[in-house]
Chains A and B, each alone.
Chain A
């Protein structure tokens, strides 16, 4: 099964808002609430930012929010800060034998 589709890169200026999309199918993103988002800095382990489409773990800034419409999930970062510059990955449960699928990742650049 192919990875979920994310834009390779997005950029924004400090203070702006950006949105990263994650497109799948009705067998994964569109069919279930189990969409997560991860932030990863170079050489570091990923960090959970959003789980079950729109829930933030304790300690994650409320500048990060998640949503879903149809087969596409989205991560929005408001009030962009320099420290948000990182790679972002979505993941989803899938009803295929794969069970879990990741997106290809999006590199966020803060201009």
Chain B
């Protein structure tokens, strides 16, 4: 079945780095735009980053720009989020999600979500 599984979360000190992974299965991964979305404890959803189907276009939220980098490896059906210079305010559950449009199109609707991985930034 169509599935996304995140990994790589954990507890990290401020200023350190962490890399999240999201493994996809059950669909043609190389055809879909992919997103990272986070949710701080007790807060709403916040879009973090997005990458085109082929990795040629990437965008990130102002709050993480210059610190977080999204990438993908279509041969491994995996999307990544490299998080550097982590801050306390980056503490959240991080979800990866699939754009509902295949064929390389962008619909900005996320129809498949992973279960989330928790990142805690604390000294």
* A12-20, A67-75, A77-85, A99-107 - the one binding chain B: A99-107
**Contacting B111 at CB < 8 Å: which of A34, A57, A87, A97?**
A57
Given contacts A97-B62, A99-B50, A48 and B44 within 8 Å (CB-CB): no
Q: What distance in Å separates the Cβ of B84 from its nearest Cβ neighbour in chain A?
A: 20
Number of interface residues, chain A, beta carbon within 8 A: 27
A57 to B100, CA, bound (A): 9
A interface, over-half SS: strand
Instruction: Assess the B109–A89 pair: CB atoms within 8 A.
Output: no
Number of interface residues, chain B, beta carbon within 8 A: 22
Check if B73 is an interface residue, CB within 8 A of chain A.
Answer: no
Given contacts A36-B108, A45-B95, A92-B108, A103 and B113 within 8 Å (CB-CB): no
Check if B115 is an interface residue, CB within 8 A of chain A.
Answer: yes
CB interface residues, B 1-57, toward A, < 8 Å: 35, 37, 44-47, 50
Given contacts A45-B95, A57-B100, A98 and B111 within 8 Å (CB-CB): no
Query: Given known contacts A3-B44, A46-B95, A105-B45, what 6 new A-B pairs fall within 8 Å (CB)?
Result: A1-B62, A36-B108, A40-B45, A47-B113, A48-B109, A98-B61
Q: Which B residues have a C-beta under 8 Å from some C-beta of A?
A: 35, 37, 44-47, 50, 59, 61-62, 95, 97, 100, 107-111, 113-116
